[in-house]
Amino acid sequence: MLASGLFTLLLMVVLWLIGYFSVDIKLAAPLSAPTDLPPSREYLLGTDSAGRQLLAVMIAGTPTTLQIGLIAGALGMFIGTILGFTSGYFGGVVDSIIRSAADVALTVPALAVLVVIASVINKTLSPEILALIIASLAWMWPTRTIRAQVLTMRERAYVEIARLSGLNNFEIIFKELVPNLLPYLAASFVGAVSSSVLAAIGLEALGLGPQSEPTLGMTIYWARYYNGLPRGMWWWWAPPVIIIIMLFISLFMIASGLDEIANPRARRTTA
């Protein structure tokens, strides 16, 4: 699974690289070509109603979408990891506070909140700010799951041996627990990235994304805004959808593959 996921992602990266070096991305800007043209030899993916060359838009937009997902995912994981370890390892009052905070935040309907926030600060929205907004609601799940993992590992015999060998709490966390959790953290990270990407695309498709940047989600938004569907302009909305699907499938397979590696390690039975 891991292999197929990585391969698909790699394939996409290679295709993107080819595109990046062969197409001028300035053509992704509006009015760089005649509007509403179906795919032809000159414009491989046609153009949209604002005169953007769609091939250029795809090449320019995909990394932006991915970038939002990566920043949000990384930030969410970072916060989640710190909180999860603290909560799981130290227990007590600290655990109760963090856990309650995460539980409350989880009950919040994320997309609704994101929509509200995004529509309030619509004017100055950039991909980075979008990423921050998404991250603010992406930390809870990693916190809970990492806390659960730490709880199971905290009472393990090798942790007790480490204590008897004189290690203090931080040394135990970093030297004994984190290495064993690396596959799990990696799988969680990929999961966080893909859910952040989904949230970003969702917001953009609703029109709440960065207006001036070409991203996959915004393309879908513009396609709807300019009635691309009833007009049969499949070259406008189909490419972003296909790219999104492939992206998700590859990320999902990577996460599943990493999870498979993580679990047998965590549940190794005695010989």
Partner 1 sequence: MAPLLEARNVSKVFGSGLLSRQQTVALQAASVTIDDDTPSIVAIAGESGSGKTTLARLLLGITKPTTGQILYQGRDLRQLDGPQWRTFRREVQAVFQDPFEVYNPFYKVDHALTMPIGKFFPKASAVETQQMMEEALQAVGLRPEETLGRYPHQLSGGQRQRVMVARALLLKPRIIVADEPVSMVDASLRATILESLLKVHKAFGISIVYITHDLTTAYQLSERILMMYRGNIVEAGDVDLVIKAPQHPYTQLLIDSIPLPNPKLHWGQREMQARQSGDHLTAASCRFADRCPQVMDICCQQAPPLYQTDARRVVSCYLYADAPVAANEHATVA
Kindly state whether residue 271 participates in binding partner 1, applying the rule CB under 8 A. yes
Cα separation, 225 vs 207, in Å, equals 9
Cα separation, 87 vs 210, in Å, equals 36
Largest CA distance in the chain: 74
Kindly state whether residue 70 participates in binding partner 1, applying the rule CB under 8 A. no
Q: Are 214 and 57 in contact (CB under 8 A)?
A: yes
Helix, strand, or coil here: 55?
helix
CB 6 to partner 1: min, Å: 23
Q: Which is nearer to partner 1, 31 or 164 (CB)?
A: 164
Question: What's the CA angle centered on 71, arms 20 and 222, to 5 degrees?
Answer: 60
Which of 113, 162, 246, 249: binder of partner 1 (CB under 8 A)?
A: 162
**Cα separations (Å) of 195 from 125, 154, 217, 238, 247?**
20, 29, 14, 21, 12
Phi and psi at residue 118, in whole multiples of 5°? -60, -40
Q: Which is nearer to partner 1, 177 or 190 (CB)?
A: 177
Kindly state whether residue 224 participates in binding partner 1, applying the rule CB under 8 A. no
Q: Which is nearer to partner 1, 156 or 231 (CB)?
A: 156
Kindly state whether residue 93 participates in binding partner 1, applying the rule CB under 8 A. no
Q: Which is nearer to partner 1, 48 or 176 (CB)?
A: 176
Instruction: Indicate if the alpha-carbon torsion angle 92, 95, 98, 100 is positive or negative.
Output: negative
Specify the stretch interacting with partner 1 by CB under 8 A; choose among 54-62, 98-106, 163-171, 233-241.
163-171
Which of 3, 17, 161, 229: binder of partner 1 (CB under 8 A)?
A: 161
Q: Which of residues 171-210 bind partner 1 (CB under 8 A)?
A: 176, 179-180
Specify the stretch interacting with partner 1 by CB under 8 A; choose among 50-58, 86-94, 162-170, 209-217.
162-170
Kindly state whether residue 24 participates in binding partner 1, applying the rule CB under 8 A. no
Query: In Å, how far from its chain's centre is CA 259?
Result: 17
Which of 31, 93, 112, 157: binder of partner 1 (CB under 8 A)?
A: 157
Q: Which is nearer to partner 1, 31 or 271 (CB)?
A: 271
Q: Which of residues 236-265 bind partner 1 (CB under 8 A)?
A: 265
Please, how many CA atoms are within 13 Å of residue 229, restricted to the half-sphere of its CB?
7
CB 181 to partner 1: min, Å: 10
Burial of 21 (0-12, 13-18, 19+ CB in 10 A): exposed
Binding footprint of partner 1 on the chain (CB under 8 A): 156-158, 160-167, 176, 179-180, 265, 268, 270-271
